[in-house]
Chains A and B, each alone.
Chain A
Amino acid sequence: GQQVMQIPQYQHVQEGEDFTTYCNSSTTLSNIQWYKQRPGGHPVFLIQLVKSGEVKKQKRLTFQFGEAKKNSSLHITATQTTDVGTYFCAGAGSGNTGKLIFGQGTTLQVKP
């Protein structure tokens, strides 16, 4: 079945440093979504990428979808303590079921 792998599992950075998490799918995706979960909280939707090679930005966050629609990345520029949490990618296969397969997540710790 479809699998979504995400690396690294953990990342500790100094405030102000950049951060990147990578996501790879075993199958071609119709779209990929990114979520953020704060400690003790629930996942919150950040963005959806649909087109091959798509790049979207949200302030300091840059999201990319690979040309083959099998990989994606999230890059945070100049991290802040408010960026702390776990970032998940989630891939949607073909069909219109709406179901997402989530990666294992990358937990970001930011040292002030």
Chain B
Amino acid sequence: NAGVTQTPKFQVLKTGQSMTLQCAQDMNHNSMYWYRQDPGMGLRLIYYSASEGTTDKGEVPNGYNVSRLNKREFSLRLESAAPSQTSVYFCASSRQGGYGYTFGSGTRLTVV
């Protein structure tokens, strides 16, 4: 059982470049989430999808867009990367209601 798979694991972007972070889960979970982790800031919610076909903003959505492609996949897009978006990005999924998130292994993104 793979759980939650994130790609890529590492990425370096130049300011202004765009990229999409991919996330897929094989646990038949309804809900999926994107968080970013910065030192001393904990995990901050960027966007979430409570169920297939819905997406909503979290705490820090500016500069990001998401797509819930199907029940399994939830992607995060940076249209014009900025150095402030240097972070570790985690995708997570859960049953409806958010019980017990399963996290992916993360994407370490550096914007120079």
Contact = CB atoms under 8 A, between A and B. Distances in A.
Interface string B97-112: 1111111111000000
A48 B45 contact: no
A44 B56 contact: no
B80 interface: no
A1 B59 contact: yes
A105 interface: yes
Given A33-B100, A44-B103, A98 B94 contact: yes
A43 interface: yes
Interface residues of A, number: 24
A92 interface: yes
A45 B93 CA distance: 12
A9 B40 contact: yes
A100 B101 contact: yes
A34 to B, nearest CB: 10
Contacts of B21: none
Contacts of A58: none
B102 A92 contact: no
A55 interface: no
Interface in B61-112: 90, 92, 94-106
A92 B98 contact: yes
A42 interface: yes
B32 to A, nearest CB: 9
A48 B101 CA distance: 10
Interface string B30-58: 01010100001111110010100000101
Given A43-B101, A98-B95, 7 more contacts: A97-B50, A98-B48, A98-B97, A100-B45, A101-B45, A102-B43, A103-B42
Interface of B: 31, 33, 35, 40-45, 48, 50, 56, 58-59, 90, 92, 94-106
7 closest A-B pairs by CB: A98-B98, A104-B42, A102-B43, A42-B103, A98-B31, A45-B100, A102-B42
